[in-house]
Amino acid sequence: MRKIELSYTLTSSTPERSSHPALLRNPMMDVLHAVRSSGSISGAARELGLSYRHVWGQLKDWEADLGQALIFWERGQAARLTPFGERLLMAERLAQARLGPQMENLRAELERAFAMAFDNDGQSARASDVLTLYASHDHALTELQQYASLPGEGRNTAPALHMDIRFCGSVDAIRALNEGRCELAGFHTQPFAAAGSLSARAYRPLLKPGLHKIIGFARRVQGLMVAPGNPLRLRDVADVARLQARFVNRAIGTGTRLLLDELLVQADLLPMDVTGYQRAESSHGAVALAVASGTADVGLGTEYAARAQGLDFVPITEERYLLVCLKSALEQPAMQHLLQRLRSRAWQERLNALPGYATDHCGEVAAMKRLLPWWD
């Protein structure tokens, strides 16, 4: 087995987005991505800002070290990755997608640690500026984490806030809140689910009126992530079952798996009717990548994840992504700073710009019945 060593860079500003964004960069993968997208070694060198000789030499060194060819060396022909090179890229992309939530949190933690080092008066280290959040994985939360870490501008704006996000399933997130492991939890549910629905039965025992307060956040679209062109012409979960399309699921305890089970009940189907129901991935991105790689035909997830992998998307339902905290935590400085951020026009414009997202009572503190219509 090959040894893996991790590294990171410290820069003075946010780096420009590349054609193959990654949370953890590797020079060999960068070169292989560039060769694949440009079709030549010279094009890859230009894309990476390196010399042709340097890229050529790197590829030869890597091939010698790995003992296998990475590209076809055909004079006068477009550069193509070998099957081995393609497998390396796919393995790396899948690992990045599966570990994405953990790496996002690790990067935020490192940024906070260095912010404290650069802050001469030590104000960044104040406990009031840190908010621990357990939540179902969601890209908008990652955007909020980045936005909240920026100092506000002008008077009466919220100070920089570090959101310590631990991604897990929706049900597990609320349990973590009730067990005192965090100050805030994030979960998602269909806004118009019936009082006897699976969603209502899963969440109702965990939420207590008078103890918890719901905070509005966003609406997002969930649907079928399919290959470009939707070759199987899938429209809903009934089509997935009827055509025996290879499905990739989310883990037990996640809101998306709960949503799938809800859709199966509505279609009068059983889990065994879905080919691949037991195959689970840890994030929307990993599900999308499984479809993009051809190892699955379809998965249920967010529009954002589908678009990020160049997939087609068949919308099925709009759902609410909500935050919940203990009523007693509302007056804490960090919680007040977060509410200020959520209510700001700048944040709401940023949220509305994300594919498949829209603001929904963003920053509004409400009772259960206000934002959970199925609440009885």
Check residue 130 and give its pLDDT.
Answer: 84
Average pLDDT, the chain: 86
Q: How remote is the C-alpha of 174 from its chain's centroid?
A: 19
- Report which of residues 247 and 366 the model is more confident about: 247
Q: What is the pLDDT of residues 114-145, one digit of tens each?
A: 766 666 555 544 544 789 999 988 889 989 98
> 271 falls in which pLDDT band (50, 70, 90)?
very high
Query: Would you give the DSSP letter of residue 252?
Result: T
Q: Which CATH class is domain 27-92?
A: mainly alpha
pLDDT, average across residues 333-355: 94
pLDDT at 107 > cutoff 90: no
Cα gap 225→223, rounded to integer Å: 6
Bridge partners (DSSP) of residue 162 are: 130
Instruction: Please count the other Cβ atoms lying within 10 Å of the Cβ belonging to residue 359.
Output: 18
**Residue from 260, 259, 262, 263 nearest 321 by CA:** 259
- Dihedral sign computed on CA atoms, order 260, 265, 267, 273: positive
Cα gap 144→256, rounded to integer Å: 21
Check residue 164 and give its pLDDT.
Answer: 87
Cα gap 113→132, rounded to integer Å: 15
- Report which of residues 80 and 75 the model is more confident about: 80
**Do the Cβ atoms of 303 and 221 come closer than 8 Å?**
yes
> 18 falls in which pLDDT band (50, 70, 90)?
very low
Look up residue 253 and give its two tokens: 């305890």
Query: Would you give the DSSP letter of residue 300?
Result: E
pLDDT at 364 > cutoff 90: yes
The residues spanned by each domain of the chain are 27-92, 128-371
Check residue 370 and give its pLDDT.
Answer: 84
pLDDT, average across residues 255-264: 92
CATH number assigned to the domain with residue range 128-371, chosen from the 4 options 1.10.3720.10, 3.90.1520.10, 3.40.190.290, 3.40.50.2300: 3.40.190.290
**Do the Cβ atoms of 161 and 129 come closer than 8 Å?**
yes
Give residue 131's identity as a one-letter amino acid code. L
pLDDT at 68 > cutoff 80: yes
pLDDT, average across residues 210-234: 95
pLDDT at 153 > cutoff 60: no
- Helix/strand/coil (H, E, C) string of 162-209? EEEEEECCHHHHHHHHHCCCCCEEEEEECCCCCCCCHHHHHHHHHCCE
Check residue 176 and give its pLDDT.
Answer: 95
